[in-house]
Chains A and B, each alone.
Chain A
Amino acid sequence: MSGQSQVRLLQDRARLMRLVRAFFTARSVLEVTTPSLGSRGATDPHIESMRVKQGNQAYFLQTSPEFAMKRLLAYGSGAIFQICPAFRGGESGAHHNPEFTMLEWYRPGMGLVELMDEVKDLITGLCREFEQVFEPVESGTYRSLFEHQYSVNPHRVSSQQLLEITHSKLPGFAGNAYNEENYEDEGVIDDLLGLLFSRGIEPGLLDPQFVTEFPATQASLSKVGQVAGDQVALRFELYWQGLELANGYDELTDPTELTRRIARDNRIRESRGLPMMLSDQRLLAAMAEMPTCTGVAIGLDRLLMLLTDKESIQEVLSFGIEDC
């Protein structure tokens, strides 16, 4: 990168941060700072928490500020936002850097529809400043997009059916990892849904679009509800130019359910030879005290890519993983 474009990038990044802060300040959302290190990491089998040592104690670089921010919500912080580094091991590519910048905020008392509107307001305002146009098309449910592309209900499909679809729709699917011996593994359905969604649907989501009602097994830390007889996760994602930009939840506030999900995560981890992750007792305690709220995270580097017409995340970082 030339010196001049490097300086231009720094200016654009600074402007983005300034505008985001102004947006939340105007809405009386409190800016907070939580540690990048935590004694517990993400339990999600697909997210690798990087380990660091401090004295004799192992810590995890946080994959998102979610656990700590939920503890603040339980203390009665009210609406809060944070811009911070987040770390995910092994994620490196045109749209991923193992260390990236996350904007995350929580809204006690706000519903998902209102939160999607707030996301839209934020990005619309940013786009105006960066001379871009942001006009989301009507939201689509995960099920409607999936049925349109693959003609099956993703909430009821079997792993065997998904394997067949994967082999017929993705001819280059090497598939060594999924065969008769292990397709009963309880994580396989999500793996294949994710693959089919990210290869067959995401690239087509060029206009900004919110996708809602995810498979219940992908609820992570969101609530689950019943829609048209299907169990769905009450969460949304925002796509633009084929990129996932934001991920919002109607936040789970039930510690018993969280304990159940952590156990499932660890069963999948164990069957795949991944390290088991201890549950965060502080988070479980906070969850019982937390107000009903929604929360959303936005990858700011990806957003900056789109705001400045860049093809790769490396182009919007001062120094990417190959250069740090």
Chain B
Amino acid sequence: MASYSTNEFKSGLKVMLEGDPCSILENEFVKPGKGQAFNRVKLRNLASGRVWERTFKSGESLEGADVLDLDMEYVYNDGEYWHFMKTDGSFEQLGADKAAVSECVRWLKENEIYAVTLWNDNPIAVAAPNFVELEVVDTDPGLKGDTAQGGTKPATLSTGAVVKVPLFINIGETLRIDTRTGEYQSRAKS
């Protein structure tokens, strides 16, 4: 893998830092008039999702990380791994562990397409599409009448996720959920 010097750092570049693959978010050039130049860099650790801030002496370099974002179809969970299939017609499947799937587990629906981040061909992170459509498996009975009223109640979805929904929603309905906020958007158009 190539290595990249601080002057090649730019947003989106994938590099190795302290053993983890990271994506550069911001790169700020800091230089006292006649002093040594530094780069203040914000990176997202792709394995943990955490944002790191580091200061490098300008000219230092980091090794590139072999990281690839791939659209893959979620197939099934075997109790330990969540299996995703490539959508390139190869039917090749890869298993993602709990750390990789992380929060996204709440939105995993079979046959949906997810963005899977691969590092050296292993899934390290899974991102849901912005919107998913999921069925309500449990909620209090719907209230008839004024659907404009603002009240909400919890509803459990087929994936186990619990979201706040309007009072008029019933078990069996399919809802459109914004995975970025975890909020109900609308009933799914059937």
Contacts and interface: CB of A to CB of B under 8 A. Distances in A.
Contact of A46 (B7, B17, B36): B36
B38 interface: yes
A199 B39 CA distance: 11
B53 A172 contact: yes
Given A90-B58, A173-B55, A191-B57, A197 B32 contact: yes
B54 interface: yes
A170 B54 CA distance: 9
Contacts of B38: 195, 198-199
A199 B30 contact: yes
Contacts of B34: 44, 46-47, 218, 220, 247
B33 A244 contact: yes
B35 A46 contact: yes
Contacts of B29: 91-96
Interface in B1-51: 7, 17, 28-38, 40
Nearest to B52: A172
Interface string A25-58: 0000000000000000000101100000000000
B56 interface: yes
Given A90-B37, A191-B36, A96 B52 contact: no
B24 to A, nearest CB: 13
B60 interface: yes
A44 B34 CA distance: 8
B55 A91 contact: no
A195 B36 contact: yes
A91 B31 contact: yes
Given A90-B7, A198-B38, A176 B32 contact: no
A174 interface: yes
Interface in B50-78: 52-60
A194 interface: yes
Given A91-B37, A92-B7, A174-B60, A198 B32 contact: yes
A217 B39 CA distance: 23
A190 interface: yes
Interface string A145-179: 00000000000000000000000001011101110
Nearest to A187: B36
A237 interface: yes
A50 B87 CA distance: 50
A172 B58 contact: no
B53 A194 contact: no
Given A173-B55, A177-B60, A190 B35 contact: yes
B35 A194 contact: yes
Contact of A198 (B30, B57, B59): B30
A244 B35 CA distance: 12
Interface string B157-169: 0000000000000
Interface in A77-105: 90-96
A46 B37 contact: yes
A53 to B, nearest CB: 23
Contact of B35 (A96, A173, A218): A218
A177 B56 CA distance: 8
B35, B53, B60: most-surrounded residue (chain A CB, <10 A): B35
A159 B137 CA distance: 64
Interface of B: 7, 17, 28-38, 40, 52-60
Given A46-B36, A191-B57, A194-B36, 19 more contacts: A46-B37, A90-B7, A90-B59, A93-B31, A96-B29, A96-B31, A172-B54, A173-B54, A174-B17, A177-B56, A177-B60, A190-B35, A198-B31, A198-B32, A202-B32, A218-B34, A220-B34, A244-B32, A247-B34
What 4 A-B pairs have minimum CB-CB distances, sorted nearest first? Answer: A93-B29, A194-B35, A191-B36, A177-B57
20 contacts: A47-B34, A90-B37, A96-B31, A172-B55, A174-B56, A176-B56, A176-B57, A176-B60, A177-B56, A190-B36, A191-B35, A194-B32, A195-B55, A197-B35, A198-B30, A199-B30, A220-B34, A244-B32, A247-B33, A247-B34
